[in-house]
Amino acid sequence: MIKTRITEMLGIDHPVVQGGMQWVGRAELAAAVSNAGGLGILTALTQPTPEALGKEIARCRDMTDKPFAVNLTILPTIKPVPYEEYAQAIVDSDVKTVETAGRNPEPFLPLFKSAGIKVIHKCTSIRHSLKAERIGCDAVSVDGFECAGHPGEDDVTNLILLPLAAQRLKIPFIASGGLGDGRGLAAALALGADGINMGTRFMVTEEAPIHEKVKRAMVDASELDTALIYRSLNNTARVFKNSIAEQVLQIESQPGATKFEDIQPLVQGAKGKELFEEGDLDRGIWSAGMVVGLINDIPSCAELVQRIVADAEEIINERLAKVVQA
């Protein structure tokens, strides 16, 4: 067993948190991760309405007795999203932990805190992590350059961000980005983190509700098979380097400012929803972290979590204990 401030705060067996992933964070995966002793996460906006989120939370609760969380990602959208109603649905469903992301969660904190909910905020920089601590978040998830989705524009890796967080933060923090095995868990703990967040690695499990072809493509991928797109729009995203991602990069490399209208036709099939359900790998784009290069199989969540924890324990108890000599 590996026990940290995060396992204690969240009431979970292992310091392993599932990443909040649009279209992927459904009851099947969240319940499987929680049943494995980690923290499963439903993504609020995967559900079309706050009511649907309430039902998904109830469905997840039918599938596990263990704690799970809900991710609320606040991003600028073309169509307005009723974030307050989603937040209220979370509170009404008696969820104990929320992961916020995308923007300063301050407006939502009074609601969550008054309901006794623990708030973990996802940050891609030290300045945002310190701010999250200052406004009263209970923990932060520190997202390095390696991560899937939006790493920010600073390009600072977790080898640097995590020790900085350890130097400066008082609240517990979770390492996110680049982590997928026992070596990574042991290293994150050594760097000062209280646990790890894994998105990409949990996409490639039996229970992840995405098409087998997508999982297989990620098993076959190497560490060179992710791409940073939307950099020219100042909204960088790390995605799987399929043919669509390569076309986007091509458009972005043209002289002059990139027009989103030029990219939109390519990625509009990019609602992971259809891609993930139908398994057409070149239908759109999907987020994938650099850790795809370390993924070689499609285990169950239980197998995966047990293996990672056992490997980290062995590294700590055997390998590291052995190199340190009196």
Q: Which of 54, 192, 209, 299 binds a copy of itself (CB under 8 A)?
A: 192
Which of residues 256 and 265 has its CB atom nearest to a copy of itself in the complex? 256
Report if residue 313 touches a copy of itself, rule: CB under 8 A.
yes
Q: Which of 52, 91, 156, 251 binds a copy of itself (CB under 8 A)?
A: 156
Stretch that binds a copy of itself, among 21-29, 71-79, 134-142, 175-183 (CB under 8 A): 175-183
Report if residue 16 touches a copy of itself, rule: CB under 8 A.
no
Report if residue 9 touches a copy of itself, rule: CB under 8 A.
no
**Adjacent-strand bridge partners of 43:** 71
Which of residues 26 and 241 has its CB atom nearest to a copy of itself in the complex? 241
Which of residues 16 and 98 has its CB atom nearest to a copy of itself in the complex? 16
* 162 touches 193 (CB < 8 A): yes
Q: Which of 28, 99, 133, 146 binds a copy of itself (CB under 8 A)?
A: 146
- Radius of gyration of the chain, Cα coordinates, nearest whole angstrom: 19
Please, where are the H alpha helices in 122-259?
126-135, 158-168, 182-190, 200-203, 212-220, 243-252
Here the tokens at position 63 are 């599938």
89-92: list long-range contacts, CB under 8 Å, 24+ apart.
89/44, 89/50, 89/51, 89/53, 89/54, 89/57, 90/44, 90/53, 90/57, 90/117, 91/115, 91/117, 92/54
Report if residue 1 touches a copy of itself, rule: CB under 8 A.
yes
Report if residue 268 touches a copy of itself, rule: CB under 8 A.
no
Cα separation, 319 vs 39, in Å, equals: 28
Cα separation, 299 vs 301, in Å, equals: 6
- Positions in 59-118 near a copy of itself (CB under 8 A): none
Q: Is the dihedral of CA 70, 76, 81, 82 positive or negative?
A: positive
Report if residue 158 touches a copy of itself, rule: CB under 8 A.
yes
Residues binding a copy of itself (CB under 8 A): 1-4, 126, 144-146, 154, 156-164, 166-167, 177-179, 181, 183-184, 186-192, 223-224, 255-256, 290-291, 293-294, 313, 315-317, 319-321, 323-326
